[in-house]
Amino acid sequence: MRKIPAELAKRYEAEGWWTKDTIGDLLARGLATAPDTEFRVHSAFRPWSGTFRDVEHTARRLAGGLRERGVGPGDTVAFQLPNWMEAAAVFWASAFLGAAVVPIVHFYGRKEVDYILGSVKPRVFIAAERFGRLEFQPDLCADVPVVGVVGGGGQGQPQPHIERFDDLLSDTPLSGTLPADPTHPALIAFTSGTTRDPKGVVHSHQTLGHETRQLAAAYPPDRGTQLTAAPVGHFIGMVNAFLIPVLDGAPVHLTDVWDPGRVLELMTRHDLHIGGGAPYYVTSLLDHADFTPGHLRHMRYAGLGGAAVPAAVTTRLAGLGIRVFRAYGSTEHPSITSSRHTAPEPKRLFTDGEALAGVEFRLEKDGEILSRGPDLCLGYTDPELTAKAFDDEGWYRTGDIGVLDEDGYLTITDRKADVIIRGGENISALEVEETLLALPAVAEAAVVAAPDARLGEHVAAFLRLRPGHVLPTLDEVRAHFDRAGLARQKWPEELHEVQDFPRTPSGKVQKFRLRQDIAVRK
């Protein structure tokens, strides 16, 4: 892990940003305060309704069962589940045990899951038997000691260690929480970046605890009962679904599929509110045929982040009476800046906010943002990545370019890192390029972000072809990516043929010119 300067750690502790609490401690206190709070999953596939007490009972039975199988503090528990009750039970059980949890986005494909499991070597892996394109693959977890399958499985599986989820539950629930060091890992969240494979971002009980408390304190008090649709395999989806509501004693409502028409119906029927996220979650509702002005009372606020936030979107929402505020962060450093919901409108609509509690940031000569703060991660599972991204003074190189106004508000203007952010999901341009190069027709590939009215950005590929070959069709490219096992959001959505690329004197492709070319075409 990275070196955290002693003076920073002392300051974070003195200010109360870092505490002695583990995530299990935070959960246990919150659940004891509001045990009868509603917990509901709106799903056509696996609906569920109950209370915090019910979910905690399942989580403690699971913790008891895992403890009987030798799982405890310092171990890792991975899961790949949609927004279901069992995902909460796995996360809470891991916290009670003092184990580090490894959420895996449910739409990740075979390639990503294989890499993640090989990277963290978990003691436990719990997955859905089937959901949409997701299908449990026993061979991927042959080396995992304890495997549970939600929705069936276990019976007839080739490995005896694969069990049904319910069979992992002990008749003796774990009481209390097992002692764990709050400076040790509590979460390993995988995110795409400039590398071929997902990056494992390690958060401690202290960094994750601060982020949770900070977000809970910043949310508007009259935001209403929230519907969480962001995948709980994502950092922010998991925090918003399984941590913040417990601290607040607020009901949990989850949906496992983003269907705007269905979401509009749920908003009206159950008086649920949508509070933001990636802009697509808001704009797809406004653009749906079933949207009516009456739905606006369920959309009082829109906290936008996780993807490009065009000014056209923020001004549109503000014109409808929605109070918009923007935030900037990443899995590595979740909350760097934010504009408060009480800030002046120009700051909320057109900047990404000011530094949050304990956060420091500075701009390099080229405009790159360096940040540090009490919610900054411990580093990556790959020591080489950690060494490149963090320095000895605790600064993290974000790979983003920004400008600062006279009031200290930051605006992101460009991205130094070679990453596309589609609907809040990071996509490595390098990984897409290498997959394209496996096509017989492709001599050279360059992938960039193209503007997307719904999702912020999507993958655009520029291809230089081998002599005698023609540009593959999108369907041919998608079939190739499907065979390669890459998650669907990484598949190119537009293709452009070039005779050659614009290059620097050293021969490097000038991707900024490709992005400019796309802007002209649109």
Determine, yes or no, domain membership for 220. Answer: no
Determine, yes or no, domain membership for 283. Answer: yes
Domain stops at, among 390, 415, 440 = 415
Q: Count CA atoms closer than 13 A to 178's CA, side-chain side.
A: 23
Average pLDDT value for the chain: 92
Does 193 share its domain with 316? no
Does 140 share its domain with 189? yes
How many domains is the chain built from?
3
Determine, yes or no, domain membership for 216. Answer: no
pTM: 0.85
Does 407 share its domain with 459? no
Q: What is the CATH number of the domain that holds 440?
A: 3.30.300.30
Does 183 share its domain with 329? no
Determine, yes or no, domain membership for 384. Answer: yes
Does 87 share its domain with 117? yes
Determine, yes or no, domain membership for 143. Answer: yes
Local confidence band at 343 (pLDDT 50, 70, 90 cut-offs): very high
Does 262 share its domain with 410? yes
Does 167 share its domain with 279? no
Domain stops at, among 384, 415, 446 = 415
Does 80 share its domain with 138? yes
- Residue 514 domain boundaries: 419-521
* pLDDT digits 0-9 by tens, 106-159: 988 898 999 999 999 999 999 999 998 888 999 999 999 999 999 864 444 556
Please give the Cα distance from 187 to 232 (Å, whole number): 13
**Cross-strand partners of 324:** 302
* pLDDT digits 0-9 by tens, 364-390: 998 899 999 999 999 999 999 999 999
For the chain, give the percent of residues with pLDDT over 90.
73
CA distances in angstroms from 200 to 109, 112, 283, 381, 474, listed in the order given: 16, 11, 31, 5, 31
Determine, yes or no, domain membership for 229. Answer: no
Domain stops at, among 415, 432, 451 = 415
Does 405 share its domain with 426? no
Determine, yes or no, domain membership for 10. Answer: no
Would the pLDDT of 173 be above 70? yes
Please give the Cα distance from 159 to 334 (Å, whole number): 38
Does 464 share its domain with 403? no
How large is the C-alpha radius of gyration of the chain? 23
Does 192 share its domain with 266? no
State residue 482's pLDDT score. 93
Q: What is the per-residue burial (b if ≥16 Cβ within 10 Å, else e) of 318-329?
A: eeeebbbbbbbb
* pLDDT digits 0-9 by tens, 249-288: 999 999 999 999 999 999 999 999 998 887 878 888 998 9
Does 100 share its domain with 182? yes
Determine, yes or no, domain membership for 225. Answer: no
State residue 507's pLDDT score. 64
Q: What is the CATH number of the domain that holds 199?
A: 3.40.50.980
